[in-house]
Amino acid sequence: MSKLFRETPTFDILTLMLTELGFTGVADTKIFSANELKVDSSDTWAPLLEPFYLPCKAKRYFDTLSPCRIITLLRHVLPFHGFRLQSYERQHLGKKRTVYQIHPATPHILPEGGEIRVMFL
């Protein structure tokens, strides 16, 4: 158990959080930036997630929900369900910005003799 939570946040709250933020679920691997998140949707999932946090931490993270705070909340909740938030720095139109992507915490290992199939579109 993390030092942030009273108890582990449920998978249902994580999927609700991701769908309200504009993802299709935890398997969505699109690359996104903090500015692309739907911050106004936090009214639906934030009250459900807040009771899982310790009171002193909930005050800190849920006081004002900015895009950066939402990224932080994703970083807190995803590892409990076998995922992590990977960050990359990219140059776009001459400006450096940080982009994120959801990945499984442990990579998928093929059984011995397994086949790798790649489809090009």
| pLDDT of res. 63 | 86
| pLDDT of res. 106 | 73
| pLDDT of res. 121 | 56
Three-state secondary structure call for residue 64:
coil
| pLDDT of res. 3 | 85
Distances (CA, A) of 77 to 15, 89, 107: 11, 22, 19
| pLDDT of res. 120 | 67
| pLDDT of res. 100 | 92
| pLDDT of res. 71 | 92
**Average pLDDT per block of 10 residues along the chain, 121 residues long:** 82 90 86 86 88 90 88 90 88 86 74 64 56
* Residue for token pair 């004002």: 64
Locate the domains of the chain by residue range: 11-104
pTM of the model: 0.80
